[in-house]
């Protein structure tokens, strides 16, 4: 019996077969158990002898089965170690990764610059009321500067904001006459324009507002010069040209040194050496008043600039549409900047 069992054991190929064998020889109805059961019919002398032999046989079979179990376990472990080996010396596969959009880069950079000067960042709705977008900014109904053609109206009272100045009105209301008020408002704005290389029906602005006692035009100029130099480099100059906005008095447009200037044939600045980047001025007394500030006590300055324009100058981009068409070859260039 032992020989037979051990012989069969050699051929066992998996755990299922091994189990079958265990049942066949050592189980309740197994062959060895049968023999032990039959011992009742043996004489008193024969019984211990046969019993001993049977025990030896059982132990031998058991030991062999256990060895086999161990062997199976080892083989399984080996197999798994084999199949799960990782070659840690292999070079990694490059993962494609995105880049920060150039417009977001410029916004973040401008936010950093102004936060460094103590400004807070304010956001507001893109769908605005006529009051915040125009009226509170000294643009009453029928004012010519409100040219209907330029705005996307939703109802008579609601429109897509045409600038981020309404956020400044909201900031004034929130402050309830408290000073100093120093905010910048980044965000999307909408105007009815036909898209081309320099126009888009949607673009981004960042506007700034400061209100306190004794705020003067020189504070505005110093702030803008500081901003321009941090943004484009310490060699930059600015110049202010008189202009008009209904919400500021006096008003000015600001030019900066042409950074991409190619000398004689420069397309960017038409050979003037200057490029316009923003509008600004001293907050109009009526706007202060409507915002809850006494113009006899407080004064303030405001400025507004197009993010696309800043990005175009900073990175030498030739078409505003590049920002929105999401050509991966264009966007990828901002990976490493
Ligand atoms: N809101 C103006 C515009 O959209 C920019 C501006 C802001 C001008 C603040 C002066 C002061 O063109």
The per-residue pLDDT string of the chain (337 residues; one tens digit each, 9 = 90 and over) reads: 777 777 777 777 777 777 887 788 777 777 777 777 777 777 878 878 888 887 888 888 888 888 888 888 898 899 988 888 888 898 988 887 778 899 999 999 999 999 999 999 999 999 999 999 999 999 998 888 777 558 999 998 999 999 999 999 999 999 999 999 999 999 999 999 888 888 899 999 999 999 999 999 999 999 999 999 999 999 999 999 999 999 999 999 999 998 767 666 777 788 788 999 999 999 999 999 999 999 999 999 999 999 999 999 999 898 999 999 989 889 988 876 5
For the CA of 209, the closest atom of ligand 1 is 9
Q: Whose CA is nearest to atom 10 of ligand 1?
A: 280
Q: Is 248 in the pocket of ligand 1 (CB under 6 A)?
A: yes
Q: Which two tokens stand for residue 264?
A: 């004689």
Q: Is 187 in the pocket of ligand 1 (CB under 6 A)?
A: no
State which of 132, 206, 279 you would mutate to test the pocket of ligand 1, scoring each by most atoms of that ligand within 8 A of its C-beta.
Answer: 279
Residues making up the binding site for Mg(2+): 249
For the CA of 164, the closest atom of ligand 1 is 1
In this prediction, residue 150 carries a pLDDT of 83
Which of 211, 203, 212, 210 is CA-nearest to residue 224? Answer: 210
CA-to-CA distance for 1 and 303, rounded, in angstroms?
102
| Beta carbons within 8 Å of 218's beta carbon, 6+ residues apart | none
Q: Is 206 helix (H, G, I), strand (E, B) or coil?
A: strand
CA-to-CA distance for 99 and 179, rounded, in angstroms?
39
Q: Which two tokens stand for residue 254?
A: 């600001």
Q: Helix 15-26 to helix 46-83 angle, to the nearest 10 degrees?
A: 170
190 burial via Cβ count (<10 Å: 0-12, 13-18, 19+) = buried
Q: For residue 316, how far is its CA from the centre of ligand 1 (angstroms)?
A: 24
Q: Tell me, what DSSP letter sits at residue 120?
A: E
Q: For residue 302, how far is its CA from the centre of ligand 1 (angstroms)?
A: 8
In this prediction, residue 1 carries a pLDDT of 75
Q: Is 208 in the pocket of ligand 1 (CB under 6 A)?
A: no
For the CA of 163, the closest atom of ligand 1 is 4
In this prediction, residue 263 carries a pLDDT of 66
In this prediction, residue 12 carries a pLDDT of 76
Q: Which two tokens stand for residue 303?
A: 């400025």
16 burial via Cβ count (<10 Å: 0-12, 13-18, 19+) = exposed
Q: Is 138 in the pocket of ligand 1 (CB under 6 A)?
A: no
CA-to-CA distance for 20 and 31, rounded, in angstroms?
12
In this prediction, residue 38 carries a pLDDT of 77
Q: Is 308 in the pocket of ligand 1 (CB under 6 A)?
A: no
Q: Is 304 in the pocket of ligand 1 (CB under 6 A)?
A: yes
Which of 212, 214, 260 is CA-nearest to residue 233? Answer: 260
In this prediction, residue 7 carries a pLDDT of 77
State which of 276, 281, 286, 304 you would mutate to test the pocket of ligand 1, scoring each by most atoms of that ligand within 8 A of its C-beta.
Answer: 304
In this prediction, residue 148 carries a pLDDT of 56
Q: For residue 220, how far is its CA from the centre of ligand 1 (angstroms)?
A: 14
Place of tokens 């189990």: 19
In this prediction, residue 149 carries a pLDDT of 58
């Amino acid at each position: 019996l032992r020989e037979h069992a051990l012989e069969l054991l050699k051929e066992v190929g998996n755990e299922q077969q091994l189990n079958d064998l265990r049942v066949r020889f050592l189980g309740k109805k197994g062959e060895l158990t049968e023999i032990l059961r039959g011992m009742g019919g043996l004489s008193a002398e024969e019984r211990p002898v046969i019993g001993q032999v049977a025990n030896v046989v059982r132990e031998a079979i058991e030991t062999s089965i256990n060895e086999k179990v161990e062997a199976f376990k080892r083989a399984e472990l080996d197999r798994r170690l084999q199949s799960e080996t990782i070659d840690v010396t292999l070079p990694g596969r490059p993962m494609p990764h995105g880049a920060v959009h150039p417009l977001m880069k410029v916004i973040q950079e401008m936010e950093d610059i102004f936060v460094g000067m103590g400004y807070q960042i304010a956001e507001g709705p893109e769908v605005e009321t006529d009051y915040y977008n125009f009226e509170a900014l000294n643009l009453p109904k029928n004012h010519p500067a409100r040219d209907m053609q330029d705005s996307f109206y939703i109802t008579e009272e609601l429109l897509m904001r045409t600038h981020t100045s309404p956020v400044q009105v909201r900031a004034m209301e929130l402050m309830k006459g408290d000073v100093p008020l120093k905010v910048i408002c980044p965000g999307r704005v909408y105007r009815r324009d036909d898209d081309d290389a320099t126009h888009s029906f949607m673009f981004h602005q960042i506007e700034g507002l400061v209100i306190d006692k004794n705020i003067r035009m020189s504070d505005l100029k110093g702030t803008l010069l500081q901003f321009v130099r941090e943004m484009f480099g310490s060699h930059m100059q600015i110049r202010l040209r008189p202009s008009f906005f209904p919400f500021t008095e006096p008003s000015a447009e600001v030019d900066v040194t042409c950074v991409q200037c190619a000398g004689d044939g420069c397309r960017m600045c038409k050979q003037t050496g200057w490029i316009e980047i923003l509008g600004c001025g001293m907050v109009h007394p009526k706007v202060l008043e409507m915002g809850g500030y006494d113009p006899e006590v407080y004064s303030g300055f405001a400025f507004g600039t197009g993010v696309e324009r800043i990005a175009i100058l900073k990175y030498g981009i030739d078409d505003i549409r590049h920002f929105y068409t999401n050509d991966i070859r264009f966007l990828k260039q901002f990976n490493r900047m």
